[in-house]
Structure 1
Amino acid sequence: MLLLTLAMIIAAYLIGSISSAILICKMLGLPDPRTTGSHNPGATNVLRISNKLTAATVLFLDILKGTIPVWGAYFLYAHFLEREPLYLGIIGVAACLGHMYPLFFNFQGGKAVATALGTLLPIGFSLGALLILTWVTVAKLTKYSSLSAIVTVSLAPLYVFFLKPLYVYPTLMLSALIIFRHKDNIIRLLNGTENKITTKINY
């Protein structure tokens, strides 16, 4: 069980290390998202430098990076081993760490908000809908992508507590990681120097 879990953790990190934002921008001849805008290789920064379709593609692929390893592990444990929420949480964290510190891109990655969302989708689509609704609502009200992410991941453990309390602790692990990754954004928000989403959000 330990060797299988270790292999899945490594696989999750490697999948997370595939930066869709960098690859898609390179394919389309766009600037490297690490060198322009917020310097973050994620969907929001891609939206700043391109268009909604490109950003939506990056968002979808980043979500898949979290969903694939966790969902795969979930069913693998179901067939061969006893499901262990803690292990699933570690696998989800590994995928997010891959996005934040990608092996294939000099460890210069993003904030892993979409990837974290992807790791939580196997818990249930109702949770995914709540998280997306929270992000969109805060983004529309404040125009701050970072604040939307911080509020969303802060509420995620509460949502999970009411929907599937078995996964509260793994969700807390993910939330703490994402909030830590946003520490610089938190400082800029407090100082009033954080960048806003410059393209109008329509859903």
Structure 2
Amino acid sequence: MEAPFDSAYAPLATVLLCLAAYLLGSVLFALPVCRLWRLPDPRALGSGNPGATNVYRTGGWAPAALTLVLDALKGWLPVWLASLAGLSVMAQAVVGLCAVTGHMVPAFYRFRGGKGVATALGTGLALAPITTLLMAAIWGAVIWRWRISALASLVAILTGPVLSALIEPDTLPLFGLLALLIVVRHRSNLIRLAQGREHGL
């Protein structure tokens, strides 16, 4: 079967998809979703994070679920396109990381974004679905027991490198870097968790 394009164009395709992934990641879907539901700006309430958890705190499950799906989609779509283009697993991982980075430091919002968990979910589902679904199950178990989103996200993302090493080892660098990025973005949450002041659902 003929390749989608000559391998000589792979570096150019990777660069273009990385740029597109970053720009797509820079769209903070929590903001238009809150406008659609006539909710307050999520950056001005609660944790100040423009993500599904903060939308849930202000508007309930429906807008939060839509935010989650859209934020995950912007991680899944670029990786899926990279896969269609015939790029290597490592190149697909780099594209996915660009989408997550876009959500964290968005070009359209003065580089002030969210924690990147939902976008990482989408990236993981596109590249390593078994590992990602297991992480989602861990997230669900922690949120059910303690009702603290930041704790659930941190526990789930820190299991990622271990699970990927055991199940989908080609994606270990992706989950290692995602864990590093997301833990750094949760540094204020870590302080509040240590002090017993972290927001619950």
TM-score of the two chains, using structure 2 as the length reference: 0.91
Instruction: Say whether residues 1:147 and 2:147 are aligned partners.
Output: no
Match of 1:114 among 109, 114, 118: 118
> Does structure 2 conserve the Cα–Cα contact (< 8 Å) formed by 1:88 and 1:170?
no
Q: Distance in 2 between matches of 1:47 and 1:26?
A: 14
Structure 2 contact 34–41 (Cα < 8 Å) conserved: yes
- Output the CA distance in 2 between the equivalents of 1:115 and 1:75: 19
Native 8 Å contact 2:105 2:113 kept in 1: yes
- Asked if the contact 1:21/1:46 (under 8 Å) is kept, the reply is yes
1:124 is displaced (CA, Å) by: 4.1
Identify the residue that residue 201 of structure 1 maps to in structure 2. Answer: none
- 1:180 Cα deviation from its structure 2 partner: 0.9
Equivalent pairs, count: 192
Matched, 1:27 2:31: no
How far, CA to CA, are the matches of 2:179 and 2:191 in structure 1? 18
Counterpart for residue 80 of structure 2 = 71
Deviations 1:47-71 (A, max 9, x none): 0000111111101111101000111
Deviations 1:73-93 (A, max 9, x none): 1221x2xx5x1x332222111
- Counterpart of 2:49 in structure 1 is 40
Q: Does the aligned pair in 2 maintain the 1:89–1:171 contact within 8 Å? A: no
Q: Which of residues 40, 60, 76 is equivalent to 2:69? A: 60
| 8 Å contact from structure 1 (residues 123, 164) kept in 2 | no
Aligned-residue offset at 1:41: 0.4
Q: 2-side partners of 1:138 and 1:71: how far apart?
A: 29
- More displaced stretch, 104-113 vs 148-157: 104-113
State the match for 1:159 in structure 2: 163
Instruction: Assess if the C-alpha contact under 8 Å between 2:28 and 2:103 holds in 1.
Output: yes
Instruction: Mark the runs of 5 or more structure 2 residues left unpaired by the alignment.
Output: 1-9
Output the CA distance in 2 between the equivalents of 1:131 and 1:19: 23
Percent same amino acid among aligned pairs?
40
Return the alpha-carbon distance in structure 1 between the equivalents of residues 144 and 156 of structure 2. Answer: 13
SS at 1:39's partner residue?
Answer: coil
Q: CA RMSD in A?
A: 1.3
Query: Which whole-Å CA distance do the structure 2 matches of 1:95 and 1:135 have between them?
Result: 21
1:200 is matched with none
Alpha carbons 1:17, 1:104 under 8 Å: kept: yes
Which residue identity lines up with residue 152 of structure 1 in the other structure? A
